[in-house]
Amino acid sequence: MNNPFQRLKVLGAGIFSLLLALGVARFSYTPLLPLMQEQAGLGVAEAGWLAAINYAGYLSGAWIASLINDLVLKDRLYRIGMIVAILSTLMMGLSTDMTVWAISRFVAGLSSAAGILLGTGLILNWLIRHNHRSELGIHFAGVGLGIAGCAAFVALLSQWLDWREQWFAFTAIGCLFLIPALAWLPPPDTSGLTSTGQKMQDSPPSPLYLRIFMAAYFCAGIGYVISTTFIVAIVNKLPGLAQQGNLVFLTIGIGAAPACINWDFIARRTGDLNALILAAMLQIVGILLPVVVDGLTAALLGALLFGGTFIGMVSLVLTMAGRYYPTRPAKMMGRMTLSYGAAQIIGPAVTGALAITFGSYNAGLYFAAAVMAVGTVLLLVLKAIERRDAVLRP
C-alpha cells in the first residue's frame, strides 16, 4: 500500500536537495555578485566568466548523468554531489583568487547537476515505481524557494556581514539542508517492477523529435541563464532602480516557488507541449519588461512572469523525459540538459561581451528574448512532429 507521508518525505528530500545544490551552491552567486564587485574587486567580464564556468560544471555533470544507467551509482553520486555543494560554497569565502573561485563555480555546477538531474531522476523513478502521479511540481518548488531565500538572506545579512562572511553563512545553512536531502531519499529499487508488480518499460521518442526538443531546450537555457545570472546587476543600473535588483531577484523566487505545481495543472488540461509553448511566450514578456517599460512595477511584474515560467519549463521537460524513460529517467534528462547546459555556458559569456561593447548588461536581455522566440517556434514545429509520429507509430 502506498504511504502518502512517504511520498511527501521523498518530495521533501528533493526540495532540500534543490535548496542546497541550486539555492545555496548556485543562486547565492547572483545576489552576492554586486557585493563581490564592490568589495572583492570582481570585474564585469570576470563575473560573466565565473557564471560560464559554473555552467561548464553543470554541463559536465549532465554528460555524466546521460551515460549512467545504474540506479545505485546514480544514488551514490547524488549523495556525493550534495556534499560537494557545501564544499564549493565554502571555497568562495576562503579566497579572492580567480582560480579558486573558478574551481568553486565548476564543482558547484557538478553538484547542481547531481541535484536537478540525478536527484530528480531518482525521485521520479520512485514516484512511478510506487504508482504516484509522475509530476514534479512540488519537488521543483525548491528552486523558487532557493532563489527567494538567497535574495532575502543577502538583503538581510548585508547590513552586518561582508561578502566573505555571507558565503560562510550560506555554507552553514547548506549544512542544515544536507540532512533531509540525504536522509529522506530511500535507496533505489532496482527490481524493474512497480510496487504492484507491473513491469516498467521505456518508450523513447523518435530521433527527429528528440533533436528538435533539444534545440528548443537550448533556447530555453539561454533565456534562463542570462536573467538569473545578471538580473540583479541589470536592475540596479536602470534609471530610478538603484539597489532594487535584490528585490526583483526575490520576486523571481516568489514567482518560481509555486510555478511548477501550477504548470502541472496547466499541462493536465492543455497537454505538455501546449503548456511549454505558453510558458515560453510568457517568459519572453517577463525577460523584456524591465528594459522596455520604465519603473519598479514593470521590473517586478517581469520578475513574476519570468520566475513563474522558467522553472515550469524545466519541470515539464524533465518530467516528459522521465516518462519516456521510467526505468532510467536521468538518461534523457541528462541529454536534454546537455543542450540546456551548453546554453548556460554560451549565454553568460555572450552577455559579458555585450556588456563590454554596449556598457551595460541590458543587451543580454534582448539577446535572451530573441533566442527564446526561436525556441517557441521550435516547440510549434515539435507539435507537428508529434502528430506525424503518432500516425507512423505501429
Closest to 392 measured CA to CA, from 205, 200, 201, 202: 205
DSSP H helices, 207-329, are: 207-237, 245-256, 259-270, 272-292, 296-324
Q: Residue with C-alpha cell 513574476?
A: 304
Residue 253's contacts (CB-CB under 8 Å, 6 or more residues apart) are 144, 145, 146, 147, 148, 149, 150, 151, 307
One-letter identity of residue 186: P
Long-range pairs, 269-278, Cβ under 8 A, ≥24: 272/316, 272/319, 272/320, 273/379, 273/382, 273/383, 273/386, 274/383, 275/312, 275/316, 276/216, 276/313, 276/316, 276/317, 276/379, 277/376, 277/379, 277/380, 277/383
329, 309 contact by CB (below 8 A): no
Q: How far apart are CA 247 and CA 231, in angstroms?
A: 10
Q: How far apart are CA 289 and CA 293, in angstroms?
A: 6
| CA 72 to the chain's CA centroid | 24
Q: What is the pLDDT of residue 224?
A: 87
Quote the pTM value: 0.79
One-letter identity of residue 113: A
Closest to 125 measured CA to CA, from 344, 335, 324: 324
Domains defined for the chain, CATH in brackets:
7-188+204-392 (1.20.1250.20)
* 1-13 pLDDT, tens digit each: 456 678 889 999 9
Task: Give the residue-averaged pLDDT of 113-134.
Answer: 84
pLDDT at 394 over 60: no
Q: What is the pLDDT of residue 195?
A: 61
* 209-220 pLDDT, tens digit each: 999 999 999 999
pLDDT at 53 over 80: yes
Q: How far apart are CA 32 and CA 30, in angstroms?
A: 5
pLDDT at 350 over 70: yes
Q: How many CB atoms lie within 10 A of CB 84?
A: 22
Q: What is the pLDDT of residue 1?
A: 44
